[in-house]
Structure 1
């Protein structure tokens, strides 16, 4: 039978894991932007500000809009 007392523990572990993965992705995109983005017309600075202030949303936007385009 399922133990209802253990359910909150698994929820904490699950959401903690998601949070750690999201933070690791955010750091990865921030480092990628700092090291590989061209400094043409302050694009690097603008992307750094977007990534820092919007956290995961900014990292996802950078990944979709810039990183994939730069890799092509």
Structure 2
């Protein structure tokens, strides 16, 4: 492992520790998110080992892109 790998692993563990004990932790994305934004939110949810109900992905605007429906 490189120093960058160690730092990334440390950050991931810090995020996991932050979410422990939190019943619902919404993940916010930009208005009308693009597929990359949605994929990043889903990846974060997976990294945190959370189910959809415990970490809903929320956009403050309408999701209108057909590829995100």
| Common fold: TM-score over 0.5 | no
TM-score class, shorter-chain normalisation, is 0.3 to 0.5
Give the structure with the higher percent strand.
Answer: 2
- Return the TM-score normalized by structure 1: 0.35
